[in-house]
Structure 1
Amino acid sequence: MANILVVDDEMGIRELLSEILGDEGHVVTMAENAQQARQIRATSTPDLVLLDIWMPDTDGVTLLKEWQRDRMLTMPVIMMSGHATIDTAVEATRIGALNFLEKPISLQKLLKAVQQGLSRGQETVRAGTLSTMARPAPIPVVADAPPLAASAAVAHAVAGIAQPPAEAPRPPEEKGFSVSFELPLREARDAFERAYFEHHLQREGGSMTRVAERTGLERTHLYRKLKQLGVEPGKLGRRNG
C-alpha cells in the first residue's frame, strides 16, 4: 500500500484515478490545482505523485521546477497530459519527472507506470538507508524451500535459534457456499459470481491485478463485472487485511 497524490483540475479524472488506485489498495489524496498540491506536499511526502501538466493556476511543469528548486522533489512524479508536446515531456523528464502518460490513459499503462514509480521510490529509500548503516551480516539462503518456510528459516538464522522441523502447509479453509435451486437462473448465477469474486478478492487482499490473473479476466472487464454485481474490492481488501 502506498500514499499517492493525484493532481488534476478535472474532477472526473481525479475520481477515476482515485477509484482505480484505491481498488489496488493505495491511499489516494487529491488536489485540483497546484496550490492545493503545494499545501499537501508542505505537510507530507507522498510515495508517488500523478501530476497534470495543464492546470488553470500553475502548470505542472512549473510546480515540478518549484519542488526541484526547494529540494522537495524527493518522490517519483509521473506527468499526465492530453495536449503536451514532445518538448514538454522531455523538459519534465529533464527536471526530474520519472515518466509521462498521455491522456486518455489506458488502465494497463497507468498501473505499470505506478508500479515502476513505486519500485523506483523504494529503491531510493533503501539506498539512502543502507548508506547510513553498517553493512549487514550475510543472511543464509534456503534453497528449494517454499516462501513461507524460507522466511521462517531466515528469521531463525538471524536470531540464532535452531529451526524447528518444517510442517506441511495447510490449505486455507474454504467458506461454504450454497444457493437455492428455486431461484431464477440469472439470480442464481449472479449469487454464485458474487461469492466467487468476493472469495478471490479476499484471498488476494483486494489486488485487482492478481484477481484478474487468477480469474482469467481482462482488468477492464473485471471492473465492469464487479460494479454490475455490486462488489466493492476496496472494502473486501481492507477486511481481509
Structure 2
Amino acid sequence: MSIIHIAENDPLLSAVLCQRLGAHGHTIVMTPDGDSCVRAMQWARPDLVIADARLPDMTSMELLETLHASGFGRLPKIMLFQSGAVRDRVRIARTGLAACISKPVNLEALLKQVLRSLDVSHAAAA
C-alpha cells in the first residue's frame, strides 16, 4: 500500500500507531525526532508523514520548513497536537496540513484521515 513516516518520541504511541497502520497494509517508518525523519525520507520516500507537533529537536514549524526545503512541501502531513496547543494548531493549519489531530489520538479518526489524505495524494499524482 503506502509508505508512512511517523515522527513521534512517545514510544507507546509510536508502537500503537505502527501496529494499527501496519495492520491496514501500510509500510511504517518510525523515527523519534524531526531530523531522523527527514533523513529517513531521503531513502524511503513516503506517501504521508504523521508527526508530533512537539518533537525533541524541532518545533512543528521547523519540521514543516525543513520538509519543504527538502522537496517534500507537497507531501500530505498530519500533525499531532496536545489538546491545549490551540494557538500553535491554528498557525500550523495555515501551512496546508492535511489534518491537525489532538492527543490523546482517536485511532479511528486518525485512520480515516490517513485514508483521506492518501486518496487525495494518489489522485493528485495520477
Q: Distance in 1 between matches of 2:124 and 2:84?
A: 28
User: Deviation of residue 91 (structure 1)?
Assistant: 1.9
Which ranges of structure 2 fall in alignment gaps of 5 or more residues?
A: none
Corresponding residue for residue 119 of structure 2: 119
Kindly report which structure 2 residues correspond to 1:46-195, keeping only aligned pairs within 5 A, or say none: 46-83=46-83, 85-126=85-126
Q: Distance in 1 between matches of 2:35 and 2:8?
A: 11
The normalised TM-score by structure 1 is 0.49
Q: Which runs of 4+ in 1 moved over 6 A?
A: none
The normalised TM-score by structure 2 is 0.91
Corresponding residue for residue 151 of structure 1: none
User: Deviation of residue 84 (structure 1)?
Assistant: 5.0
Aligned to 2:97, what secondary structure does the other structure show? coil
Q: Tell me which protein shows more strand as a share of its residues.
A: 2
Deviations 1:28-78 (A, max 9, x none): 110000111111122232011111001111123311122223432231000
Q: Distance in 1 between matches of 2:124 and 2:19?
A: 27
Deviations 1:105-160 (A, max 9, x none): 1122111111111011112201xxxxxxxxxxxxxxxxxxxxxxxxxxxxxxxxxx
Q: Among the aligned pairs, what percent are the same residue?
A: 25
Greater Cα offset, 12-21 or 105-114: 105-114
8 A contact 2:5–2:41 mirrored in 1: no
8 A contact 1:68–1:96 mirrored in 2: no
Which ranges of structure 1 fall in alignment gaps of 5 or more residues?
A: 127-241
Q: Distance in 1 between matches of 2:76 and 2:84?
A: 20
Q: Distance in 1 between matches of 2:75 and 2:17?
A: 19
> What is the aligned residue count?
126
Q: Which has the higher contact order (CA 8 A, sep 6+)?
A: 2
8 A contact 1:65–1:95 mirrored in 2: no
User: Deviation of residue 83 (structure 1)?
Assistant: 4.4
Partner AA of 1:47 in structure 2: D
User: Deviation of residue 17 (structure 1)?
Assistant: 0.1
The RMSD of aligned alpha carbons is 1.5
Deviations 1:187-241 (A, max 9, x none): xxxxxxxxxxxxxxxxxxxxxxxxxxxxxxxxxxxxxxxxxxxxxxxxxxxxxxx
Partner AA of 2:58 in structure 1: T
Q: Which protein shows a greater Rg? A: 1
